[in-house]
């Protein structure tokens, strides 16, 4: 078990925002939750699954909702700490204590939720998550690849809804339930689900991703300190590619059904002058093209960075903004056929057979 210091936690939030591919929640909110826990004398401890007894129970806390800016409830706030209530109700339902927390995804906000509630309840956080990036729907969770249900689930809104999902018919229904409650709540619903013994968790958890996030954030920070290129530093840590740079020419988005949906058009600069990058967004960057030819398909990662390496969320993205686009491979679990059923291009309505990002980039370089 490893106790993380404040610098490591800041680096992790930055790294998770990079890996959040434009979504994953607001990193300012994520850091605020973690900082508040630290200010109350709490600590964040990182643990591997192998360090936990096999009969330990892990659970997954996160927020569901659109990342569209300006959303707020018009109802009275009745539950001040919905994620803590969801956690407590889960333990009541299970009739046993939860021993560790697993992040649902990598994102400045949602990973912050996991770090914060774990610290406040004096529980360790598993060095891993159930996605390896951020993604918009509950379908994009590795448990489905291994036929592990996400129920029982507890969903709480700050406006007063408390719902226990004992069982769902299918993941479409569960996504609809959680998403609808987030709309009723005005912005988000707090969820604790997927309680698993450690022995079972070893199948879906993508291990080492929180340590990776620390390395990404640290690489950006050290590159700035050493007057090196932070974007290249991110590419190196992720074994990825710098695939575009340019200026946002057009960005149109809407809040639809509990998601931020839209498309961004970037006009190339430097060696990309004369080219156009387009990215289709559903909270996160999902699918991208250069001059209408596919550059990247889900589940592979596309993230936008400023010149100083700071990750740009899709709530901050604006016309006239200079961006650097970095691509990276998705975890291998997602590249299986079953993984692609939940996270491939056809899942989002694109009539493409999945082509790995490294193959698409090789096509562009020849």
Architecture of the CATH domain 2-207: 3-Layer(aba) Sandwich (3.40)
pLDDT at 73: 61
Yes or no: say if 240 and 216 are a contact pair by the CB < 8 Å rule.
no
Question: 228-365 maps to which CATH number?
Answer: 2.40.390.10
pLDDT tens digit sequence for 276-333: 999 999 999 999 999 999 999 999 999 999 999 999 999 999 999 999 999 999 999 9
Q: Read off the tokens for 296.
A: 């990247």
Using CA atoms, how far apart are residues 112 and 35, in angstroms rounded to an integer? 10
Q: How far apart are CA 183 and CA 200, in angstroms?
A: 32
What percentage of the chain has pLDDT greater than the value 90? 91
- What are the pLDDT digits (tens) for 182-235? 888 877 899 999 999 999 999 999 999 999 999 999 999 999 999 999 999 999
Domain residue ranges of the chain, discontinuous segments joined by +: 2-207, 228-365
Residue 192 backbone zone (phi > 0: left; psi -120 to 50: alpha; other: beta):
beta
Is 228-365 in the same CATH topology as 2-207? no
CA-wise closest residue to 328 among 17, 19, 16:
19
């Amino acid at each position: 078990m490893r106790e993380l210091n404040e610098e490591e936690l800041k680096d992790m939030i930055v790294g998770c925002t990079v890996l959040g591919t434009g979504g994953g929640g607001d990193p300012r909110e994520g850091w605020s939750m973690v900082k508040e826990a630290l200010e109350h004398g709490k600590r964040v401890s990182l643990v591997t699954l192998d360090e936990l007894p096999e009969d330990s129970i892990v659970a997954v806390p996160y927020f569901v909702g659109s990342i569209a800016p300006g959303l707020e409830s018009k109802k009275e706030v009745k539950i001040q700490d919905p994620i803590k209530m969801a956690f407590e109700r889960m333990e009541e339902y299970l009739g046993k204590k939860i021993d560790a927390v697993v992040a649902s995804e990598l994102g400045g906000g949602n990973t912050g939720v996991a770090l914060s509630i774990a610290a406040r309840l004096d529980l360790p956080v598993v060095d891993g998550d159930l996605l390896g990036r951020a993604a918009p729907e509950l379908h994009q969770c590795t448990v489905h690849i291994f036929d592990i249900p996400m129920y029982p689930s507890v969903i709480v809104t700050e406006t007063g809804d408390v719902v226990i999902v004992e069982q769902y018919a299918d993941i479409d229904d569960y996504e609809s339930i959680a998403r609808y409650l987030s709309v009723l709540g005005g912005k988000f619903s707090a969820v604790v689900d997927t309680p698993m013994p450690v022995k079972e968790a070893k199948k879906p958890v993508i291990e080492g991703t929180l340590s990776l996030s620390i390395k990404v954030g640290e690489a950006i920070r050290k590159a700035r300190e050493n007057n090196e290129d932070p974007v290249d530093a991110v590419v190196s840590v992720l074994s990825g590619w710098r695939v575009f740079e340019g200026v946002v020419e057009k960005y149109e988005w809407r809040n639809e059904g509990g998601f931020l949906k839209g498309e961004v058009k970037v006009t190339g600069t430097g060696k990309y002058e004369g080219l156009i990058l387009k990215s289709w967004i559903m909270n996160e960057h999902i699918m991208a093209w250069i001059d209408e030819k596919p550059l990247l398909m889900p589940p592979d990662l596309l993230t936008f960075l400023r010149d100083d390496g700071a990750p740009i969320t899709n709530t901050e993205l604006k016309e006239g903004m200079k961006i650097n686009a970095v691509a990276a491979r998705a975890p291998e679990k997602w590249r299986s056929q079953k993984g692609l059923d939940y996270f491939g291009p056809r899942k989002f309505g694109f009539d493409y057979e999945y082509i790995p990002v490294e193959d698409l980039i090789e096509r562009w370089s020849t």
